[in-house]
Structure 1
């Protein structure tokens, strides 16, 4: 068992919630891409709620928007970890950051595809 895992039960859940809120705050204040995605979600999610589509389609439209936020959080975490290790240019560091960026590109492409398929279908 890890010495860093000291809490159990409700205390662990409360601590984890605090850490999650800290992470969201750090992403929002420190990552322009995250703020841009939040703005995109502020526009698209309400739009998905008023467009005349089925509940399943609406759920998919909202889910892909939230997925892009998740991917951006993970991408930002990878970038922070790489930068913490070293700011030196290294091919493996570049690959890791580029792959995180590619994941975000795929998630944004997924938003476009899902929305187009539903709206034009």
Structure 2
């Protein structure tokens, strides 16, 4: 019997699951929607700014990282909520740590943008 989960079939299925995950995050996660709406204008802006290719990659990449970390944080929160909604110190700690990861990524994004443009502004 041929394994149907190899090669292009597996890649197509994985892509489908990824799109399903993005759709679920957009539908169910307000923070994800807010961050996408918040970073999208800045991503578009980078294509109109007088920056080097490397700077553009950094500027867009760090904003993409914010979205990626938010997706991971949302996944952790979903898994914890699946276990139960009653308070447990470890569940709270896991959610807080995920939130901290998002915050640090946002700080990194701000730092990167300021670092790229600081010499041009002052």
Q: Quick check: TM above 0.5?
A: yes
Which runs of 5 or more residues in structure 2 are unaligned? none
- In the alignment, what sits opposite 2:80? 82
- Give, in whole Å, the separation in 1 of the partners of 2:109 and 2:98: 17
The TM-score, its normalising length taken from structure 2, stands at 0.92
Query: How far did residue 6 of structure 1 move?
Result: 6.2
Q: Classify 1:95/1:6 alpha carbon distance in 2 versus 1 (closer, same or farther; 3 Å).
A: farther
- Give, in whole Å, the separation in 2 of the partners of 1:19 and 1:94: 28
- Give, in whole Å, the separation in 2 of the partners of 1:74 and 1:65: 15
**What is the RMSD computed on CA atoms of the aligned residues?**
1.2
Which runs of 5 or more residues in structure 1 are unaligned? none
Query: How far did residue 41 of structure 1 move?
Result: 2.2
Detail structure 1 runs of 4+ shifted over 2 Å in the superposition: none
- Give, in whole Å, the separation in 2 of the partners of 1:6 and 1:106: 41
- In the alignment, what sits opposite 1:37? 35
- Give, in whole Å, the separation in 2 of the partners of 1:14 and 1:116: 39
